[in-house]
Amino acid sequence: MIQDVLREPAKAAIFLVADVRPGSEASVRDLLADLAGLTRAVGFRAPGDQLSCVVGIGASLWSRLYRAPAPRDLHPFRGLSGARHTAPATHGDLLFHLRARRLDLCFELERQLMRRLAGHVRVLDEVQGFKYFDERDLLGFVDGTENPAGAAARAALAIGDQDPAYAGGSYVIVQKYLHDLDAWQALPVAEQERVIGRSKLSDIELTDQAVNSHVAVNTIVDPDGTERQIVRENMAFGSPGAAEFGTYFIGYAGTPEVIERMLRRMFVGEPAGNHDRILDFSTAVTGSLFFVPAADFLENPLDNSTSDGSLGIGSLKRSSR
């Protein structure tokens, strides 16, 4: 069963990226097995506020936690350099993606997670995100409209036949972007709309799309006409006192290749040079990739233990590739 990725858009989120200290693998594995229970314990007191938590595991951590072969497409995030813009790769063993209708629920769950993880992890990045008015980001545009829903979302998310041992899993890429809001706000609204590819007030897609608009660059259609989709749950974050304004990008997909292609189109351009104009106002400062195991994999890692109690390949033995 897939982790709690598919949700109504949340109002609040916390994104936590951490490294696991050497020797702390068993404690982290135990915490991951208890994650669904902890989330239930915190969330049950506020039914209707939809607390959820998804965990992702980075390439550098996998073989330290589990003896099962690594998921086929798990690798470190590949940074990108275009003629004008760069997507840096930054390290991370674990990603926790907490969401709810209220920040206090995310905060309390993060507190409980950190109680268990104290001494075992080093937090590399911690961002509290929010939705700005009616589902907008800090550029002022409605963000998330074209997310697939229902069966299309499940199809976009799920690892399929290409890696049957990990069916029910997914991949996630996160990037933290900082906006130059002064430069953005100096643009007339009609020009901002050409950058994004949708109207600002009504959120309707423009019919005369510029080739380097964010929407045009991120619409990927295979030669057979199939659109390749991802599931996004971006959040605004910031600190006006420090003049920091950002968007935390998070995208899930059954293969990282779809998101990587979008990123190549954004940063390098297809053809090269046709970079996404959103980058002229937004700088990526982090970038990491994680595997999102199925919930039952996390809860039963010992199904794969060897007789000495250590973790082995067991039922997760991969079919030949």
| Separation of alpha carbons 95 and 274, rounded Å | 31
Closest CA to 169 of 57, 14, 39: 57
Residue 247 CB, nearest distance to ligand HEM (Å)? 4
Please tell me the distance from the alpha carbon of residue 109 to that of residue 102, in angstroms, as a whole number: 12
Q: Does 117 bind ligand HEM (CB under 6 A)?
A: no
Query: Which candidate, 262, 290, 5, places its Cα nearest to that of 125?
Result: 290
Q: What secondary structure letter does DSSP report for 69? A: P
Interface with ligand HEM includes 11 (CB under 6 A)? no
**Three-class SS state of 168:** coil
Q: Please say if 208 is a catalytic residue.
A: no
- CA-nearest of 221, 209, 204, 229 to 274 is 209
SS3 223: coil
**CA gap 288, 175 in Å, rounded:** 7
CA 5 to centroid of chain Cα atoms: 10
Q: Is 251 exposed, middle or buried (0-12, 13-18, 19+ CB in 10 A)?
A: buried
Which residue in 249, 252, 290, 297 binds ligand HEM (CB under 6 A)? 249
Is residue 262 close enough to count as binding ligand HEM by CB under 6 A?
yes
**Nearer of residues 207 and 319 to ligand HEM, judged by Cβ:** 207
Question: Which CB, 26 or 152, lies closer to ligand HEM?
Answer: 152
Shortest approach of ligand HEM to residue 190 CB, angstroms?
A: 16
Per-residue binding string, ligand HEM, 33-72, x by CB under 6 A, is: ----------------------------------------
Give me the residues paired with residue 94 across strands. 18, 57
Listed as own residue / partner, the contacts of 186-190 with beta carbons closer than 8 Å and 24 or more positions apart are none
Q: How far is the CB of 180 from ligand HEM (least distance, A)?
A: 11
Question: Of residues 157-216, which lie at the interface with ligand HEM (CB under 6 A)?
Answer: 175, 177, 196, 198, 214-215
Is 80 a residue that touches ligand HEM (CB under 6 A)?
Answer: no
Among residues 43 and 287, whose Cβ is nearest to ligand HEM? Answer: 287
Residues 135-154 touching ligand HEM, rule: CB under 6 A, are 137, 139, 141-146
Catalytic residue (one of 125, 143, 163, 276)? 143
Site for ligand HEM contains 247 (CB under 6 A) = yes
Contacting residues toward ligand HEM, per CB under 6 A: 137, 139, 141-146, 175, 177, 196, 198, 214-215, 218-219, 230, 232, 234, 247, 249, 251, 259, 262-263, 278, 282
Q: Which residues are catalytic?
A: 143
